[in-house]
């Protein structure tokens, strides 16, 4: 498999984490890009596996040092992708999977466009947006997670509308109406791109 640089975005609750976990199980040569964030860990999240949980001060220091490929403020917290681990994985012929928001994905597109033609990030770049079947379904999924307050859920629904308005900027879109079908569509997109780059 060729080393793809795969960016996946979706509104919170659209099933993106589950689909990313399925991809990582299915493709042993794929690695997950562990983002940095200033938000608090949720549930059983592990530092260094789910996120690098940083203080605002440390996050801002990394911004100043130019260490991020992209960074954004999502739901009032900072999130960002470090450049070094991405290049290292691609150099080792691994596919890299990024789960980032639409603002970050826009920055990645700008970053990729400015790269020289043979750069591994540019060569392997592929972005995919995952849509929920409907807004009602999304709200129900967020409520069933029971990890967020009604206020946070309201905020996430507002963000979801804004994010879905940018879905057409992505090279591919899928709808997560049925998990297995959505997963097959994702694999089809990845397999075609892994062969043809
Ligand atoms: P959560 O707090 O639910 O884990 O993630 C909230 C949002 O932040 C999700 O849409 C997720 O895709 C996005 N996110 C996670 N990591 C990054 C990152 O490194 N950069 C950007 N721009 N967004 C991220």
Res. 98 pLDDT band, cuts 50 70 90: very high
Rounded mean pLDDT of the chain? 94
Res. 146 pLDDT band, cuts 50 70 90: confident
Nearest atom in ligand 1 to 10's CA: 10
Separation of CA 15 and ligand 1 centre (Å): 13
140 has pLDDT over 60: yes
90 has pLDDT over 90: yes
Percentage of the chain modeled with pLDDT above 70 = 99
Region 39-56 average pLDDT = 95
Residue nearest to atom 1 of ligand 1 (CA): 12
Q: 107 CB less than 6 Å from ligand 1?
A: no
Number of neighbouring beta carbons within 10 Å of residue 160 = 21
Separation of CA 127 and ligand 1 centre (Å): 15
Separation of CA 133 and ligand 1 centre (Å): 21
């Amino acid at each position: 498999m060729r080393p793809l640089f795969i960016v996946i975005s979706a509104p919170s609750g659209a099933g993106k984490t589950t689909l990313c976990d399925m991809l990582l199980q299915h493709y042993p040569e794929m690695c997950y890009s562990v983002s940095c964030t200033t938000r608090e860990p949720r549930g059983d999240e592990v530092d260094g596996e789910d996120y690098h949980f940083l203080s605002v001060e440390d996050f801002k220091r990394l911004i100043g040092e130019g260490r991020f490929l992209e960074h954004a403020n999502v739901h009032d917290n900072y999130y960002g992708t470090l450049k070094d681990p991405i290049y290292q994985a691609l150099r080792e012929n691994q596919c890299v999977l990024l789960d980032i928001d639409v603002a970050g994905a826009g920055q990645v597109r700008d970053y990729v466009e400015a790269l020289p033609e043979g750069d591994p990030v540019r060569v392997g770049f592929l972005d995919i947006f995952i849509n929920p079947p409907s807004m009602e379904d999304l709200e129900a999924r967020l409520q069933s997670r029971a990890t967020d307050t009604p206020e946070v859920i309201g905020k996430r629904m507002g963000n979801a509308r804004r994010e879905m308005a940018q879905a057409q900027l992505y090279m591919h879109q899928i709808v997560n109406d049925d998990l297995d079908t959505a997963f097959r569509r994702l694999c089809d997109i990845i397999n075609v791109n892994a062969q043809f780059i």
